[in-house]
Amino acid sequence: MAERKDKVLNVRVSPTQRKAYERAAALEGLSVSALLTAAADEKAERVLLAHSTMTVPSETFDRLLAALDEPAALASSLEKALVEPRFVNR
């Protein structure tokens, strides 16, 4: 089921932009609204994807995995807190 489109978004464009959008929409057999929302959807998807992923060199990723495979040494105070029982009076 398609999502209901009941929200309005107004944009300001120059006369040149409007003519170009109208011509492109006509050539594609679309409304100007459909043309612009399709273009905006594609751009938004690319931007969101670019900001939700991180690409690192394989050497960096390998070092990260190696570091995760080695347990970190516990600070002595933390180790003591984990071993010694604590009683809390309420």
14-34 tens-digit pLDDT = 999 999 999 999 999 999 999
- Tell me the pTM: 0.60
Judged against a pLDDT cut of 80, whether residue 44 lies above it is answered with yes
Per-residue model confidence as pLDDT tens digits over 49-74: 999 988 899 999 999 999 999 988 88
pLDDT at 4 over 80: yes
Count how many Cα atoms sit within 13 Å of the Cα of residue 1 in the half-sphere of its side chain.
2
CB atoms within 10 A of CB 10: 4
Distance of CA 13 to the CA centre of its chain: 28
CA angle centred on 79, ends 89 and 74, rounded to 5°: 145
